[in-house]
A and B are shown apart, each in its own frame.
Chain A
Amino acid sequence: MEISETPIDTDRLRESLEDPRAGGFVVFEGWVRNENDGHEVRRLEYEVYEPLAIKEGERIIAEAEAKWPLIGVRIVHRGGLLELGDCAVWVGVAAKHRDEAFMACRYLIDELKVRLPIWKKEHYVGSDSGWVNCERCASHGLDRTG
């Protein structure tokens, strides 16, 4: 589990999970999109409380490893200012078979969205900005739409 203030090097991450025992690799990349809830988004900013984001991220990885037989897992989340199209979060899972790789990847991204102390501020076209609060996920466990 890493927090990065600079662009995520997705090639390097993918290479770090290459393993001759792995028959499948699933990656989820979260990208900065240009619209949220009817607002035209210009860029966004992540505030991360790193000590606990790392600790809680490691805990989520350990949970996934306890549920499925995995060969390698990496998560990197961005902090700081991001432009449209930038990779905000990268979750990669290598496993012997695809089933556990898909399931673990889904589990990791869903859990990290509702558990890590990370906050997103969107800057809109015009000069407005706003913190995106994930109320539905916080109250109902998982947000599968975001």
Chain B
Amino acid sequence: MKTITVRYFALFREQAGTGEERLETAASTAREVFEATRDRHRSSEPLGHCKVAINDEMADWDSPVTDGDVVLLFPPVGGG
């Protein structure tokens, strides 16, 4: 098990009722963190519409997560 900090943004933050939480998890990739927190962010979006960053760097869903990482879950973006 590892400890990951998960940060939620925009719609995900409102759904989760918090911007950030600690997660004790066996997840080994960003995708597994997204799935493990689905009941929190309650995303109904296909994964491809969302984005993920790890420790303030844009990442892929297959990117590995390690103990102490901060995983940022972004719902579909809409700037401009």
Contacts and interface: CB of A to CB of B under 8 A. Distances in A.
Interface of A: 30, 46-49, 51-53, 55-56, 77, 88-89, 109, 112-121, 131-135, 138-139, 146
Contacts of B80: 30, 77, 88-89, 109, 112-113, 118, 146
Interface in B50-80: 50-51, 53, 56, 58, 72, 74-80
A119 B58 contact: no
Interface residues of B, number: 20
Interface of B: 9-11, 45-46, 48-51, 53, 56, 58, 72, 74-80
A112 B51 CA distance: 14
Nearest to A77: B79
B78 A113 contact: yes
